[in-house]
Every structure is written in structure tokens, then in C-alpha cells.
Structure 1
Amino acid sequence: MTLPTPTRPAPSRHRTRPGTAARAHVPAGAGRLLAWLFGAGLVLMVGLSVVHLTQGTASVGLDDLLAWLRGDASATTGGIVVASRLPRLGAALAVGAALGASGAALQAVASNPLASPDTLAVNAGAYLALALVSAFGLSTGVIGGSVVALVGGLAAAGLAFVLTGGGGSTVRLILGGSVLTLALSSLTSALLIVFSQQTQGLFAWGAGSLSQSDPGSVVRAAALIAVGVVAMVALGGRLDLLQLGDDQARTLGVNVVANRLVVVLVAVFLAAVSVALAGPIGFVGLCAPALVRLAATRVPGLHRHRPLVLAAALTGALLVLGSDVVLRAAIGAAEAAAIPTGVLTTLLGAVFLVILSQGMRTGRADANATLAGGARLARWAGWLTGGLAALLVVGATLALLAGDGWLLLGDIGYWLQGRASPRITFMLDARWPRVAAAVLAGAALALAGTLTQAVTRNALAEPGLLGVSAGAGVGALAVIIGGSRVGVGIPTWAVTAVALAGALAAGALLFALAARGGFNPTRLVLVGLGVAAGGQALGTLLVVSTDPWNQSRAITWLGGSTYGTMAASLPPVAALVVLLGVAALALRRDLDLVQLDDDTPRLLGVRQARVRASALLAAVLLTGAATAAVGVIGFVGLIAPHLARLLVGPQHRRMTGLAVVLGALLVLAADTLGRSVLAPAQLPVGLVCALVGAPVFWWLMYAQRGDR
């Protein structure tokens, strides 16, 4: 299966009024076929809507609905339909239509089939803006909430377009959008932790929930979405002309910048209203227009953006409505009420992304993103690594002294001699495993990032984006939450073992799905992002299914935390860092060649598939062990290798050790700041790394905007 890029109509030789070119080359009878298809879609939507109205905890069947339509139903039945069933149905249809139309427009503007409110971080920006409002106690209705979400979504979309250079490269767009989403989600998670009372229940809503307590808000949001969809359909002719290219569009009298700005504004408005109404429901804005574009290769006339936007809106409504119907039919309405609909749509989107990657045409230029680095300090690589290692020792010592109660250097000396007071002994016995865990986790993630970037030939790749961290997170959460439900204390080694098993399962799935074509870098990244999205959806499902106390604990763990780290969880991480670090240095020549291109290593006898598989397996083990020890930490595997490459060049014999030390320093500094700045309150180390890593990532993306 090959997903077509947004269609570019054939250019006209004569100056034409805007919109007339879009009507050319449409076969006779295309309108009749489109009408039949839209009619079939509407019939299906009506049928699903009837089924949806009969689902719920109260018994309301088809006969009751017919009686309600005739005005003969009881007051109880009428109250259930009006106050509960219709608002949920209206939210499903409105949100699905908004996201489908928004995704179709964003794909057209970016000329990229993977652009959507998810991959351009629109949903994450809108969610963060609404979380800020909730955290600081500002009350808004759905219209006010829509305005807040619109501001957040516009800011995120603008930043995503700037960072990805307009989104021309598929991998660049989805990597940039995914990491930007990770950064914004980390900020949201920090708000949920620091303002846990003010944001109670926001986590479940943040996964996308159709439950509605105010029917009036659904009506207002549906009206706004209807206006947005009509406006987007009206702009369809302009979208057709924008596909000609900037020069051709200007020749036809189109103001390219103004029209793109208007389209983006309307698209983000649609996504923002949907987020304000039901939270960020994932992947609908990607899947719905992608399915329509696939159908457009066989349906004449559907490639034009007016019918395409309408078809995407209808498909999006069917996806959201169908997901809710299937979920409630499969597990029952009572159980489904606790599961956000966005979890199911994200799982479907993850599967769609993986399937899409199997048939997508990939190219070398699409996968690469400048792995070359500066070599000004290459001759001093050993000294630089040694100096930073000494700085790491100093930093670890300061980390032992820092915390809610500061200690003196002499206290450490007495503690090492066994002569410290009980209070000092208690504090240092609790601190040293945290310091060691931060150092080891940073080193493991940096080494994993070095290997991942080499085999994907992409300096913007990050091991956590390949689904390994999400797999480990699902395993650990299953043990933690499962143990709390049955009232059984779970030993640390069990959490570590199951988390590592989850990482290996995610890695095995990644290998199986990406092995086609010898681990093509583009396919590898797309499959990894699909696996990561699926793992995050399962993790969200586990979190929202538990009680509020465990939910707060799980959110903290997902943010990456050294709090409560036990010494017993550290030896596996230390052993893997040492053993796999030595193995990486042994494979340094092969890694240097594999990161260049496809031809050079083959000519020199290097088995690329074997090297990639070995390096990815090592990255999976390292990421899984680090995640099991301290939770999910992002950006370290991205930043540390890149900084090392900038300092001493891309040769692995120089940069590997330096990257490991830089990763350890980064996580150690983040952990120390997180538990000291707001003491006695603490921020998870993963969230601090995200706050530090996001600006660095933005700089890297902007600096490499021409390498597409």
C-alpha cells in the first residue's frame, strides 16, 4: 500500500480565475459516483448513530427511541436520551468531523501525507493551554476553552512548521512533531503533578473522552465546528491551486502566504474546538484524510479538496463514532465509561501507521538528517571525556549533598567510615541509590541514542521514539497497578524484570515489522513511532483504570523518577552499560560505515542488516533497563550523542565515551534540580530533562532545516 501525497493538479498555460483549475480533468459521471459514496457514508453514520443511542448503562432500545421521536416516551427515557445519549453522540460526530477536516487541510498545506493535528503537535499545544487554565483556577465555558485551546494549538503548529521547515520530509515532520508533542506533554504532566488537586481528572480527559455533562456545550461546539468545516470546504479550490507550487499559484492570482495562513488558522481552530470539547483524541486527523486519499486513487474527482475535505470529515466522524460503538459493544457500557475513546483511536492509528510504513516508498534523502559533526576538538577527545568524567564525580558529590536538607562534605566522609549520625546515615542511604540511578540511566540512554542514530542515519532520532520506553512503561505499570489492586507489595526486581520484558517485546515487534528491506531507516522510524503510540495508549489505559492515588503515582513514574530507587535495581543497568559499551566500541568501524549510506558498507563487506539488528537490540536492552530503573526519560538519547558529535566528530571511537558521560551528567543535573529547587516538592527527572531538552532539540531542528 502506498499513500499518495497531496495531489498537484496540472498547471494551466493561461491566467485563470482562482478555483477554475480545480474543475479541470474530472471525468463525466464523477459527481454521480461521489454522491453515491457520500450517501452510503451518511447511511452508515445514521445506522451507527442508532446503535450508539441504544448503548449505555440504562436500558433504552430501538422501540424506546422510536417512542421518543413520536413524543410517546416516558420522562425517564427522554431524560436519558437528551441528557446523556445525544450529547455523547453529538460529541463523537462533531469531534470526528473537525479532526478529519483539519487533518486534510494540514496535509495539503504541508504537502505531506503524515501531517495532522497529532504530528504537528496541535492537540498537545491545545491540551497544555487548557491544563494551564485548570492549574491556575481560571474558569471558562466551551467557547472560552476553545479560544484558549486555539492559542495553544496555533503556537504549537507554528513552532512545528518552523522547526520542520514546512514539513516537506516525511520522517523530519513526524520526528519533529512527535518530539515537540513529547515536550509539551511533559509540561502538561508537570502541571498535573504540581497542581494535582486543581487538575484532578484531567489525565483521563487528556486521552480523549466523549463523556459530556453539559448538552449546551456540545451544541455550541458543534456549531463552531460546522462553521469551520464549511469554511474549509469553501477554501478547497484554493487548496487545489496551492498544490501547483508557489510560482504557479501566484501566476493564477493566488496570494500563497495569505491563503496558507488562513487554511492553517481554520484547521487549528477545528482541532482546538475538538480538544476543548472532548480532549485530544489521537490519530483521527491522520487516519481519516489518509484513507480518503487512498480512495481518491480509485474514485474520480475525490482528489479535489472540496469533496476531499467533506469526505475526510465524514470519515473522521465514522472513525470516532465507530470506535465508541465497538468499545461499548465489546466490554459493555459500564466498563467502557472508564476508558477514554482516544485510547482506542490511538491504537487504531498506531496500527495504521505501521501498515502504512510497510508500503510507503522510502528514499535516502528522506531518512537522512546530517550526522556529520564538528571535529575541532577531535584530537582532544580523550582529554575532554576524562575532564567531563571528573566533572561527573564532582556533580555526583554535590547531588549527595543537595536535597530538602543540605549536608556538608564532611558528612559524606563520616558516612563512608560508618561514623555518621542516624539522621545523616538515613539521608545518604536514601540519596546514593538515586544519584547512582541517575548516572547509570543517563549513560544507558546516551549509549542507546548513539546506536539508534547511527543505524537510522538520523541525528534527530531518539530511542524512546522507537517504542522501547513505552513497552517498558507498559510492563512496569502493569505490575505496579496490578499489585496495588490485589493489595500485594511488588518487589523491585519484579518491576525491573517485567519492564525489561516489555521493552524486549516492543523491540521484537519493531524488528519483525521493520526487517523488510534490511531495516530501512525511514521504515524503522515510522514503525517505531507506531509502536510507541500503541504503547503509550496501553499505558494510558492502565493509568485511567486505577484509583486517583495510584494514578498520581503512575503519572510520576511515567515522568521518570528516581524517588524510591532501590540499590537492587542498579546492577543490571550497570552491567549492560559496561558490556554493551565495550561491544559498541568493538563495532565502531561498522557503525561509522553504516551511518554513511547504503552503498559504502556493502562495497566494504559490512553486513548492514546484521549490524543494524545488533545495534538496535543493544539499544532496546539499554533503554529497557534504564526505564525499569527510573521510569520514562526522554531527550537524553537525542541530545547527548548529538552534542558529542558536534564536539569531536562522528567517529564512534571518539564520540561514544563522550556521549555516555554527557548523558550521565544531563540526567544527574536534572535529578538534582528536580528534587532541590522546589523542595520538599519534587519534579520527576524525566520532566526536567524534557524542559531542558526541548530548547536544545528546537535548536537542532532549526539548524538542520535545510538538510531535507
Structure 2
Amino acid sequence: MNVSTSTTKDRPAPAAAPAEAAPSAGAGPAARRGRALLLAPVAVLVLAALAALHVSQGTAAVGPGTLWHALGSALTGGDPVDQADAVLLSSRLPRLAAGLVVGCALGAAGAALQSVSRNVLASPDTLAVNAGAYLAVVAVAAFGITLPALPAGGTAFVGGLLAAGIVLGLSRAGAGPIRLVLAGSALTLALSGLSQLLLILREQQTSGLYAWGNGSLGQIGMETIDRMAPVALTGLVGLVLLGKRLDILALGDDGAAVVGVSPRLTRGVAVVLAVLLAAVAVTVAGPVGFVGLCAPAVVRLAGNWAPVLLRHRVLIPAASVAGMIVVLGADILLRALFGAQAGTAVPTGIVTSLFGALLLVVLAHRSRDAGSAGPTTAFARLRSRRAYVVTLVVAGTALAGAVVAAVLLGDTRLLLGDVGYWITGRSGDLVSFVLDTRVPRVAAALLAGAALAVAGAVVQAVSRNPLAEPGILGVVGGAGVGAVTVLTVIPLAGFWLIGGAALAGAGAAAALVFGLAARRGLEQNRLVLIGIGVSAGTGALVSLLIVLTDPHNGTKALTWLSGSTYGRTLPEVVPVLVALVVALPLLAVFRRELDLIGLDADTPRLLGIRPGTMRLGLLTVAVVLTATSVAAVGVIGFVGLVAPHAARALVGQRHARVLPVSALLGALLVVVADAIGRTVIAPGQIPVGIVTAVIGAPYFGWLLWRSKGES
């Protein structure tokens, strides 16, 4: 029988193959089976030891011996020990059970998603499943609806399934498996922005959901566990029964079709079961980060020593056990580091997210890129000077109109005459108060938008990566860690101290991302994935800082992290203005170098340019622009992605034209987003960063779709 392989020749290698495809050198089948049999009791013993240690930790002064006596009494019906019974049955056993259920569900879900996507970087986190499930739960809570465990799980399942469907559908546009993670990360940013919006606007209805949104194992009784454990068991058994088909699917779609296995049906069932397991985890403990990435990675690593672990009927249960070990280990480490009381308040998901972010960076650093680094001008066309002048005039006029509208609109509507009286000092008290607070906000939005857009254009040129921007590459996250550290530790810190901390954090994040990526060449997808990992790590650190502080500072930091111009004064935007005044002429001088560095690695050297030194200098400019804007208005994403791409589409690829148009478009985007946020639900307000995230995420997806030919 002749079987065509034209549809699979360009596919990436599967994430996992059956054991027979990768036998260990020098080891026979009996030896490999013996290794697997040895690993099983070791894993069980480790899990049992962690469970024993986990149940002995807590805030109540109850010794381990008393606890074990209480457990024995509960199991055998012996004489109870009142205090120990209360601690054990109402707190510690439910927390332990939650860790076991969550770890089991996420480990199995991650293994399944990696197999069906043929992507070792896939997990419920990187594919936006957790973000979709969490948004669905938060949306229900925001409207004051309290659901029992099973309906809440169903809500999370629907949200996660919709998110997974969007990501999987979008990723079909790209040939490389890394595109799947990029699409999921973009959608995660948008969904997280919407969740933050609901948390801020419906603070009373969603009280406690921020900490829960980082993955908290704290439980009150066993009711939720009793309802969701059977659902998790159903999903786990379903994936195990599907294991043989997943083994066959790993050999390729055509090969699977020949033996009667439908690739589409198998993938669909596996995704539904994986999303079901992720929904169980979110319902029990919130989105516990990156367990679905770490646990299968550990098992696949062990599979190099015992290849039978790569068979899905073994891989799925093994990943479940590894997930339980990861979650319990993280929770034990958390309470050991911060103490029993603080460890109860800090979500376990923060620790797993830190480990997962580190693993994502390592996997991205070791991965083979789907394509080499290329110019940032993939979608740009040559434009005439007339088109450039027209674009400048139109963009400048639109920005001027947006600034006027932003000054006039808000919870109090004003007229141009009011502004005229304010300028001449003849306005009334109300108008003076409104404009004294509103004008600095508009100025902050304008300058921060321009700074982020210029920084994005520079980063894309330096990295030769059309998907790069300060937010996605972790630079904004690094600035956020520095600024939030000062905000939470020194609540009355001045603006200059906050700005200095933001600059230090942004510089450290940029050095880490570009330093790791440069070791194997600044290839497009690897750079972005390392940046996503660093962003996840900085996000976990920020969440840790927020949770450990008092509620007042936590609310302030959460609002600031969503990007807000609220309460800004003119002196606070002066550093952004100074950075732009210095950076724009400097970049204009080096516009030729920007063009050449954005082309390839060899051309600059042939023309006498030292690429390393030039990249470092240009990146320093981008970091300063990013840090000053973050210090002024908080974290605003996607501006550095949207504005430069739109500029190149309008005026071509030359940076002499791209930079000024990017600045105008970035300023226009943030000014309009800020005006929308201040107006649509006045007197309530939507943080500007959430508006730009909702706009930028679809644009990012469109870029992935358009760039399918580059992978």
C-alpha cells in the first residue's frame, strides 16, 4: 500500500514516542523494565514521605505524634483527641487532599497536552487553559453568584475549553510547535487582564480571589474535594484508556490513519479530558502555575533511563504522581521558608510558578528554533516619502484630537472654553480641580505610550524579531518587580526611588533574557520564549510581594500592575519626557545602524559596525525608556508590539521613519485607551493596561497568523 507522506514531512518531531522508538544504549528490554519497576516504589515512598511531612506542618501547636494518633482514631473509630481532630479533619487533611488532587490532575493534563500538540512546552498554563478557567470562575463571582463545587467546575471547564480551542485553532497557522505557546501566552495575557479588571471593579464580590488566583491549597473541610475527586479520576482513567491511541498518534498522522486511528478525534478527546482535569484543579485550588509543565518534564527525563515511561499508559499515571510530588514539595518548601502562618497566606502556585518559569527558560534555551532570526520587516513594504509625510500629518492630527478629547472627557465633562479659562487662571474651583488632575494623566499616557513604542521598535531591531516587545520579553516585568518591591516595602517612597528600582529591575531582566538567548544566537522564537519564562517568573515574584503585604498596599500594587495614570502629577512624568528627549535624537543619529542590525548578523560587520557594542547601547536606551514609563504609569503591555508594526506597515522599514511614527501611534494608543478606561464606566475606571491588553492580544494573534510562512 502506498501512503503519501507529504502532509507530515514538515511536521516537528513528536514530543514523546513509544518506548520501542528510543531504547537505551546497552540495555535490554528486561533491564529497562527493571528500571521502571524500581522507579515506581521510589516515587511512592517519596510521595508518602512528603505527605507525612506535609500533614505535620501547620499553625496549630499539635505535635506529629498527636496528629498520627488522631488520624488512627479517625480511621479505626478509637478515642478522639479533640484539638488534634479539629486540626486534622478541618485543615491539614483537606489541604493535603487538595495538593494530591491538583497535582494529579495537572500532571496528567500537561502530559496529554504535550503529546497531542507534539510540544514539550505545552501545559494548561502556556495554552491559556488555566487563564480561561480562572476568568470564567471570576466572572461568575463578580456578579455575586455563588456556585457549588460541581457547577463551579463546569464553569471552569467551559472557560478552559474555549481558551484551548482558540489557541489550538490559532496555532494551526504556524508550522512550528513554538507558535502554540506564543498564541497561548498572548491569550493568557488578555484573559488575565480581564480577570484583573473584574477583581478591581468588583472588589467586594471577588474578595480573596486574587490570592486564590495564584493557586492556594487552603480548604475549609473536604466538601469540594469529595465532589471533584471523582471527576479527576474519570479524566485520568479516560486518558490512560486513550494511551494506546496516543502512542500511535506520536508516530505521525498518516501512520495513525493507516492503522485506523483518527488523529482529529484522538486529539479532540485528549484535549477535552485534559481541560476537564485542569478545570478540576482550578475549582479546587485556583490556577496552580506550571505543574503541568514540570511534572511531565520530570517523567520524560526519567524516560531516557527507563523508556517504558514514555508509553502513554505509563506516562499519564507517572506524570500524575510527579505532579503530586511537585505540588506537595512546593507547599512544604513554602511553609518552611515563610513559616506556618505566612505559608498559609501565600499561595502554593507562586512557588510552582517560579519553578515552572525557570524550567520554561531552560527548555526554551535548549530548544531548536523553528526558524532563524530574520529581519523585523517581514510585513513591511517600501513606501514613498509622500506616504510618510501624509502618515505623520494624519497621526499627529489624530493624536492632537485624542489629547483634546481625553482632556474634555471623563467622569466630569468639560468644554473647550473651560480649558481656556483654566489656562488663563480664571476657571472655577471644580474645573480647576478636574483639570489639575486630568491634564497630568493625559500627559503621562502620551509620554509613556511614545516611550514604550520607541522601545519596542528598538528591541525588535536589536533582536531581529517581529514578535519582540518589552512586555513579552520580561523587561516590563522586571521593572514591575523593582517598583512593586519599593511600593510594598516602603509605602511612602518617592517617585525617584520607585523609578530607580524600576530601572534596575528592567536592566536585570533584559540582561538575563538577551544574555541567555545570545548564547545560541538571537533566534526569533527562542528569544520570545525565554522572555515569556522571565515574565512568568517576575509575575510570580510580584504576586508574592503583594500577598505578603497588607491589603492596602496590595490593592495599590495590583492597580499599578494593571497600568494606571490615576493620581499622576506633572513632576512624575518629567523623567519620561527627559528619556524621550535624549533617546529620540540619539536613535536618529544611529538610524542607519538600526536598519543594518535589523537585517542580519553579517552585514553590520562588513560595514565596520561592531554589532555587540551597538546592540548593548541600543538595548540600554530601550531599557531606560521602558523603566521610566513603567515607573510613571505602571505595567502597560503590547504597546511596544502594536505601534512599531503599524508604523512599518504605513511607512516602510527605515527606522528614520519608523521611530517617529511609532512614537505618535504609541502615544495615540495609550491616550485613547486611558480615555476609554476613564469614560465608559465613569465614575468607575478601567486601568489603561487592561484596555491595551485586550487590544494587543488579538493583534499578536494576527501577527502569528501572518507570520506562518516564516516558521
TM > 0.5: yes
Decide which of 261, 264, 288 is 1:281's aligned counterpart: 288
Quick one: which amino acid aligns to residue 445 of structure 1? Answer: L
- Describe the SS at the equivalent of 1:112: coil
Q: Are 2:64 and 1:62 aligned?
A: yes
Decide which of 510, 514, 519 is 1:516's aligned counterpart: 519
User: Taking structure 1 as reference, are residues 262 and 706 closer, same or farther at Cα in structure 2, changes over 3 Å only?
Assistant: farther
Contact 1:26 1:300 survives alignment (8 Å): no
* Residue 110 of structure 2: aligned partner: 103
User: Taking structure 1 as reference, are residues 557 and 93 closer, same or farther at Cα in structure 2, changes over 3 Å only?
Assistant: same
Quick one: which amino acid aligns to residue 640 of structure 1? Answer: A
Q: Are 2:165 and 1:158 aligned?
A: yes
User: Taking structure 1 as reference, are residues 173 and 454 closer, same or farther at Cα in structure 2, changes over 3 Å only?
Assistant: farther
Distance in 1 (CA, whole Å) between partners of 2:464 and 2:568 is 35
User: Taking structure 1 as reference, are residues 592 and 252 closer, same or farther at Cα in structure 2, changes over 3 Å only?
Assistant: farther
Please give the per-residue CA displacement for 1:562-581, whole angstroms capped at 9, x wherever unaligned: 01011112121112123222
Shift in Å, 1:604: 4.5
Q: Which runs of 5+ in 2 are unaligned?
A: 1-11, 22-26, 74-78
Shift in Å, 1:388: 0.9
Q: Are 2:533 and 1:530 aligned?
A: yes
* Residue 18 of structure 1: aligned partner: none
Distance in 2 (CA, whole Å) between partners of 1:68 and 1:419 is 77
Contact 1:640 1:663 survives alignment (8 Å): yes
* Residue 388 of structure 2: aligned partner: 381
User: Taking structure 1 as reference, are residues 104 and 528 closer, same or farther at Cα in structure 2, changes over 3 Å only?
Assistant: same
User: Taking structure 1 as reference, are residues 517 and 70 closer, same or farther at Cα in structure 2, changes over 3 Å only?
Assistant: closer
User: Taking structure 1 as reference, are residues 524 and 50 closer, same or farther at Cα in structure 2, changes over 3 Å only?
Assistant: same
- TM alignment of 1:402-413, pairs within 5 A: 402-413=409-420
User: Taking structure 1 as reference, are residues 360 and 234 closer, same or farther at Cα in structure 2, changes over 3 Å only?
Assistant: same
Q: Are 2:563 and 1:560 aligned?
A: yes
Quick one: which amino acid aligns to residue 100 of structure 1? Answer: G
Decide which of 611, 634, 642 is 1:639's aligned counterpart: 642
Quick one: which amino acid aligns to residue 586 of structure 2? Answer: A
Please give the per-residue CA displacement for 1:320-373, whole angstroms capped at 9, x wherever unaligned: 100111111222211101100011111111222233344333453488887332
* Residue 260 of structure 2: aligned partner: 253
Q: Which runs of 5+ in 1 are unaligned?
A: 13-24
Please give the per-residue CA displacement for 1:596-638, whole angstroms capped at 9, x wherever unaligned: 3444445545433333333322222111111100011011111
Contact 2:342 2:548 survives alignment (8 Å): no
Distance in 2 (CA, whole Å) between partners of 1:146 and 1:203 is 18
- TM alignment of 1:525-674, pairs within 5 A: 525-674=528-677
* Residue 36 of structure 1: aligned partner: 38
Decide which of 302, 316, 324 is 1:309's aligned counterpart: 316
Quick one: which amino acid aligns to residue 308 of structure 1? Answer: L
Q: Are 2:209 and 1:202 aligned?
A: yes
Please give the per-residue CA displacement for 1:277-318, whole angstroms capped at 9, x wherever unaligned: 100011111111122222222222222222112221111111
* Residue 22 of structure 1: aligned partner: none
* Residue 462 of structure 2: aligned partner: 455
Contact 2:369 2:525 survives alignment (8 Å): yes
Shift in Å, 1:541: 1.1
User: Taking structure 1 as reference, are residues 548 and 170 closer, same or farther at Cα in structure 2, changes over 3 Å only?
Assistant: same
* Residue 176 of structure 2: aligned partner: 169
* Residue 504 of structure 2: aligned partner: 501
- TM alignment of 1:310-459, pairs within 5 A: 310-362=317-369, 364-365=371-372, 371-375=378-382, 379-459=386-466
Please give the per-residue CA displacement for 1:498-543, whole angstroms capped at 9, x wherever unaligned: 2222222323333443342454444432332222111111111121
Larger displacement relative to structure 2 (348-357 or 322-331): 348-357
Please give the per-residue CA displacement for 1:534-553, whole angstroms capped at 9, x wherever unaligned: 11111111212233333332
TM-score (norm 1): 0.93
Decide which of 237, 259, 264 is 2:271's aligned counterpart: 264
Please give the per-residue CA displacement for 1:204-249, whole angstroms capped at 9, x wherever unaligned: 1000000011312112222211221121111111111111111111
Distance in 2 (CA, whole Å) between partners of 1:128 and 1:258 is 28
Contact 1:110 1:168 survives alignment (8 Å): no
* Residue 4 of structure 2: aligned partner: none
TM-score (norm 2): 0.92
Quick one: which amino acid aligns to residue 366 of structure 2? Answer: G
* Residue 20 of structure 1: aligned partner: none
Contact 1:102 1:116 survives alignment (8 Å): yes
Contact 2:178 2:370 survives alignment (8 Å): no
Contact 2:462 2:618 survives alignment (8 Å): yes
* Residue 132 of structure 2: aligned partner: 125
Distance in 1 (CA, whole Å) between partners of 2:682 and 2:323 is 46
Shift in Å, 1:378: 6.1
Contact 1:371 1:650 survives alignment (8 Å): no
Aligned-residue RMSD, C-alpha? 2.4
Larger displacement relative to structure 2 (159-168 or 307-316): 159-168
Provide the identity percentage: 49
How many positions carry a matched residue from both structures?
Answer: 691
Contact 1:471 1:499 survives alignment (8 Å): yes
Larger displacement relative to structure 2 (313-322 or 506-515): 506-515
Quick one: which amino acid aligns to residue 645 of structure 1? Answer: R
Please give the per-residue CA displacement for 1:160-206, whole angstroms capped at 9, x wherever unaligned: 11222277535423322212111000000111111111101110100
Larger displacement relative to structure 2 (456-465 or 559-568): 456-465
User: Taking structure 1 as reference, are residues 599 and 104 closer, same or farther at Cα in structure 2, changes over 3 Å only?
Assistant: farther
Distance in 2 (CA, whole Å) between partners of 1:126 and 1:602 is 50
